[in-house]
Chain A
Amino acid sequence: MALQVLEFNFKSAATQSIPKEWSHTGVTGSGDLEVLLEKKDLGGGVKAKVVTPVKGFDAVWEKMIQKFVTDTGVGNLSIEINDDNATPIVVYMRLRQALAEATAKEAE
């Protein structure tokens, strides 16, 4: 019944974190999620915490976030996700959008 809380740690080749201290993207709508990125000294690694009502997709979450870490080469980053039944592509797109936002120039 209770929400699933999944935690993962990833090694990353790069230590390139985000320029901002933290950045937030998205809404926990049905089939969607929100992403909170935080700059963290993790010795280059990435840690992720996923809070989701969906059971049985732990391995898929790990692979999805691993793919994001591999594709983008981020490091020293904490990722927190509140999910509500998002599909893998939505997860991946939101993570990429979150990173794009976190690296975008400060709003005017």
Chain B
Amino acid sequence: MKKWSELKDSSFFDASARERAVGLVDKGTFTEFLHPLDRYCSPHLVVLGQAVEFDDGMVCGVGLLGRHPAFIISMEGRFIGGAIGEVNGAKMVGAIRLALTAAKEIKAKYPGEYEAKRPLVVISFETGGVRLHESNAGLLAHAEVMDAFQDCRHIVPVVSVVGSKVGCFGGMGFVAAAADVIVMNEQGRIGLTGPEVIEQEMGKEEFDASNKALVYRTTGAKHKYIIQDCNYLVEDTIGDFHKVLGEIAGKSMEEIEKMRRIGSIDLVREQQELVKLVGDMQPKDSMDVWKHFGNENPAALPELSTAEFLKTVKRRARS
């Protein structure tokens, strides 16, 4: 594996789950929970004759972002598309709960310094949702993660990081959106039903999954950034993600709360406004929406580099 200093300038998109986990926290601070030597494989895949992985496709651990302990959950898309089963689901839930325990202990031990030492949870999503081979356990894991998110509210910030090959789809699309903050690179995608499934169910006229440009401008980061489903859009290096996570770790809980999409009656109203807008304008393409929010030449946006895009883009105004 690459050294931390090499990871800094490496593509986040191309990185493995472990590389991301190590590179998202400060140099040399990452400790992995249930590392490969523990050989915590899925017991179900063995029975089904499916290939297994020692970490079950999920790298969890803790590192530091400045003085903040960062609990990292990093999904490996190359192993069964990053799908969530029993073992990796339990690892995910366990890591979030551990962050809460850490928060309690820090509060007790350093009552005056909690803000400065406040832990956070960072989840690097790369998944299509539930692993079909162990679907009940996978679904349960989704529910338990959502529950754990609720326990974290106002105590421990939860940050979704999306920018890997598989994107973040299925039930995990909900999970990512339920976090406090969402950070993406240009290649990042979030959605519920995957493009291929939409095409299969609704036809090519409705959604042509082979038209990658269409897929990206519907589920991709630039669209999410414009409609405010994504809080930070960063360049595709692990170092850029690390830097912005450091900033987020230092924010007050009030600032964190303001970045959420759901979780209060006002936020529900805001989402309803968006639904109403879509109903009224009946967009045929994401570009119609971009134009509505003030982007005069929407067709040019996908071609812009992240830096140019950030300079010129107009986003939905938040109330």
Q: B-contacting residues of A (Cβ < 8 Å)?
A: 1-3, 22, 24-25, 27-30, 32, 34, 36, 38, 51-53, 80, 82-85, 101, 107-108
Query: Nearest residue in B to A4 (C-beta to C-beta)?
Result: B49
**Contact indicator A108/B4 (Cβ below 8 Å):** yes
Query: Nearest residue in B to A21 (C-beta to C-beta)?
Result: B37
**Contact indicator B48/A34 (Cβ below 8 Å):** no
Q: Say which residue of A1, A28, A85, A108 sits within 8 Å of B27 (CB atoms).
A: A108
Q: How long is the Cα–Cα vector from A90 to B53 in the complex, in angstroms?
A: 17
**Contact indicator A108/B28 (Cβ below 8 Å):** yes
Q: A-contacting residues of B (Cβ < 8 Å)?
A: 1, 3-5, 16-17, 27-28, 35-37, 39, 41, 45-54, 76, 78-79
**Contact indicator A53/B50 (Cβ below 8 Å):** yes
**B51 contacts which chain A residues (CB < 8 A)?**
3, 28, 51-53, 82-85
**B39 contacts which chain A residues (CB < 8 A)?**
36, 80
**Contact indicator A34/B36 (Cβ below 8 Å):** yes
The 10 closest A-B pairs by CB, nearest first: A29-B78, A84-B51, A28-B53, A24-B36, A1-B49, A27-B78, A107-B3, A3-B46, A28-B51, A53-B51
A24-B54, A27-B16, A28-B53 known; A1-B48 Cβ under 8 A: yes
Q: How long is the Cα–Cα vector from A95 to B51 in the complex, in angstroms?
A: 18
Task: Count A/B pairs, Cβ under 8 Å.
Answer: 69
Q: How long is the Cα–Cα vector from A107 to B28 in the complex, in angstroms?
A: 8
**Contact indicator B49/A30 (Cβ below 8 Å):** no
**Contact indicator A24/B3 (Cβ below 8 Å):** no
**Contact indicator B79/A27 (Cβ below 8 Å):** yes
B77 CB, nearest partner CB in chain A, Å = 8
Q: How long is the Cα–Cα vector from A24 to B54 in the complex, in angstroms?
A: 10
Q: How long is the Cα–Cα vector from A107 to B52 in the complex, in angstroms?
A: 27
A99 CB, nearest partner CB in chain B, Å = 14
**B76 contacts which chain A residues (CB < 8 A)?**
27
**A108 contacts which chain B residues (CB < 8 A)?**
3-5, 27-28
B2 CB, nearest partner CB in chain A, Å = 9
**Contact indicator A3/B53 (Cβ below 8 Å):** no
Q: How long is the Cα–Cα vector from A22 to B36 in the complex, in angstroms?
A: 10
**A82 contacts which chain B residues (CB < 8 A)?**
41, 51-54
**Contact indicator A36/B78 (Cβ below 8 Å):** no
**Contact indicator A36/B49 (Cβ below 8 Å):** no
